[in-house]
Amino acid sequence: MWKLFNNFAYRIFFAYRNRRSRGRTRRWTARVSLPFHSEPRPVLYVAWGRIGDVVLATGHLKQLRRWFHPRPVWFLGRSRVKPIVEPFVDAFMSFPDPLEPGSGFGTAPAASLERILNQSFRYVIADVHTFYGGLFTLASLLAALRADRKFV
């Protein structure tokens, strides 16, 4: 009996709260004109995972072009996943190899990826696996990317 009452109380509470929040947002809406770009800014998909992680991500990689049309989809990932990803994206860029001497990836990954940092993106979607230390390794890169919205 208590569970039925609790569920009913939550439904009433959230219905009332959502109704109040929608009323507030309607009163304070402002229209902002977005800047016009001659060509659409690309969407960047950052994947730090290895081959198995990227294979599992191909389900939604196949749909990115359709979801973000007419914006091109760029992929930033490890060089070993290029054959898997290339059919689904417009441009592929690889991370510098951390084992290569002088790549500078271990200290400052953002410095070695100048082409990407000079580009402005509409969205950045980061598929970062914390198990491999992806968020700690890519934190400076994700902070330096210029985008309207970032999804990590």
For the chain, the domains span 43-151
pLDDT on residue 69: 85
Going by pLDDT thresholds of 50, 70 and 90, the confidence category of residue 35 is low
Mean per-residue pLDDT, 109-132: 73
Q: Are 46 and 79 in contact (CB under 8 A)?
A: no
Residue 97 in tokens: 């190899």
Query: What residue type is assigned to position 52 of the chain?
Result: G
pLDDT on residue 151: 86
Cβ atoms within 10 A of the Cβ of 75, count? 24
pLDDT on residue 12: 83
Residue 102: which region, alpha, beta or left (left: phi > 0; alpha: psi -120 to 50)? left
Going by pLDDT thresholds of 50, 70 and 90, the confidence category of residue 31 is low
| 45-102 pLDDT tens trace | 988 888 888 888 888 888 888 888 889 999 998 888 999 999 999 989 888 766 555 5
pLDDT on residue 110: 44
The phi and psi torsions of 127 (rounded to 5 degrees) equal -100, 85
- Domain 43-151 part of CATH 3.40.50.2000: yes
pLDDT on residue 108: 45
pTM above 0.85, yes or no: no
User: CA-CA distance, 20 to 118, in Å (whole number)?
Assistant: 42
